[in-house]
């Protein structure tokens, strides 16, 4: 079933993630989308607050992959889809592993993936996407986040961005279903991390290396002299810095 075959569009929700989990548990199919004009308790990775005022695009999709083999690549499909959608408007947009879409060094969109298992069997996954479009950016985030309307100096037509995003989500999800590894290549075309010095700051320690790529588990591979370091996207909270080298 295509993504967006069933769409629920709400004025306000605590979080589209919670509504998507409720609907998934009631048996709603893959591709059911939940959108809210604003969220009162939007969340990001590691349960960080995700400020979601009117004017942004805040949505979650229910996914029911047949197995859990490549599920860590799923967030990349959506990051690639967001990138494809926004790069028509802004040229210096790129994806920072694992889930950020940036314009230069400011975040314009983020992706959140939450899986639910029954025992060891995958039940479903909810992937959430938040894109800053016409929403005001909180003062506290001004040096780290940006909206498309600020970049373009005009109001953005949200339904038209949504239509194009949906088309891209279906296109890249289709590609992933046929050949999961192709999504990694789509990521390579849209990132600035490959052959660059990447620093991952985790637990107060810095892991540094040259970005070699992503494996089929969605992990980042860094090379430091002769040592290969694998960073899992689901590890403890970390910060990723990319240097212009
Ligand atoms: C991140 O960068 O940490 C991920 C942010 C994900 C935000 C989106 S907005 C729609 C969906 N509902 C939420 O509460 N979060 C995700």
Better pLDDT: 236 or 18: 18
Q: Residue 208: which of 223, 226, 191 has the closest Cα?
A: 223
C-alpha torsion angle, residues 33, 34, 35, 36 (rounded to 10) = 180
Q: What is the Cα 15 distance to its own chain's centre?
A: 16
Token pair, residue 108, equals 């314009």
pLDDT digits 0-9 by tens, 49-61? 999 999 999 999 9
The reported pLDDT for the residue numbered 166 is 98
β-bridge mates for residue 110, sequence order: 100, 130
The reported pLDDT for the residue numbered 245 is 60
The reported pLDDT for the residue numbered 186 is 98
pLDDT digits 0-9 by tens, 181-199? 999 999 999 999 999 999 9
Between CA 7 and CA 211 the distance in angstroms is: 38
pTM, rounded to two decimals:
0.96
Please, is 170 exposed, middle or buried when counting C-beta atoms within 10 Å of its C-beta (0-12, 13-18, 19+)? middle
149 contacts 156 by C-beta, under 8 angstroms: yes
pLDDT digits 0-9 by tens, 74-132? 999 999 999 999 999 999 999 999 999 999 899 999 999 999 999 999 999 999 999 99
Between CA 194 and CA 243 the distance in angstroms is: 11
pLDDT digits 0-9 by tens, 127-165? 999 999 999 999 999 999 999 999 999 999 999 999 999
Which protein residues are within 6 Å of ligand 1, measured from CB? 15-17, 39, 42-45, 48, 50, 52, 58-60, 99-100, 110-112, 128-130
For residue 236, pLDDT over 80 is answered with no
Banded model confidence at residue 233, pLDDT cuts 50, 70, 90:
confident
- Ligand 1 mutation target, pool 18, 22, 58, most atoms within 8 A of CB: 58
C-alpha torsion angle, residues 43, 199, 132, 77 (rounded to 10) = -80
């Amino acid at each position: 079933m295509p993504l967006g075959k069933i769409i629920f569009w709400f004025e306000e929700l605590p979080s589209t993630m919670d509504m998507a989990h409720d609907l998934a548990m009631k048996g709603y199919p893959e591709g059911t989308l939940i959108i809210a004009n604003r969220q009162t308790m939007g969340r990001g990775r590691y349960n960080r607050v995700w400020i979601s005022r009117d004017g942004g695009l805040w949505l979650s999709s229910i996914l029911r992959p047949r197995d859990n083999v490549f599920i860590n690549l799923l967030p990349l499909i959506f990051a690639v889809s967001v990138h494809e959608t926004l790069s028509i408007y802004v040229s210096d947009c790129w994806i920072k592993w694992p889930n950020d879409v940036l314009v230069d060094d400011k975040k314009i969109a983020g992706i959140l993936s939450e899986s639910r298992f029954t025992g060891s069997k995958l039940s479903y996954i909810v992937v959430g996407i938040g894109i800053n479009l016409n929403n005001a950016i909180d003062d506290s985030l001004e040096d780290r986040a940006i909206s498309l309307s600020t970049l373009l100096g005009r109001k953005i037509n949200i339904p038209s961005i949504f239509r194009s995003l949906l088309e891209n989500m279906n296109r890249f999800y289709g590609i992933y279903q046929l050949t999961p590894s192709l999504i990694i290549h789509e990521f390579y075309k849209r990132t600035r991390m490959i052959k660059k010095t990447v620093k991952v700051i985790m637990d107060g320690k810095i892991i540094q290396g040259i970005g070699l790529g992503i494996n089929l588990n969605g992990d980042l591979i860094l090379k430091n002299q002769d040592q290969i370091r694998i960073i899992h996207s689901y590890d403890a909270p970390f910060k990723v810095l990319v240097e212009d080298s």
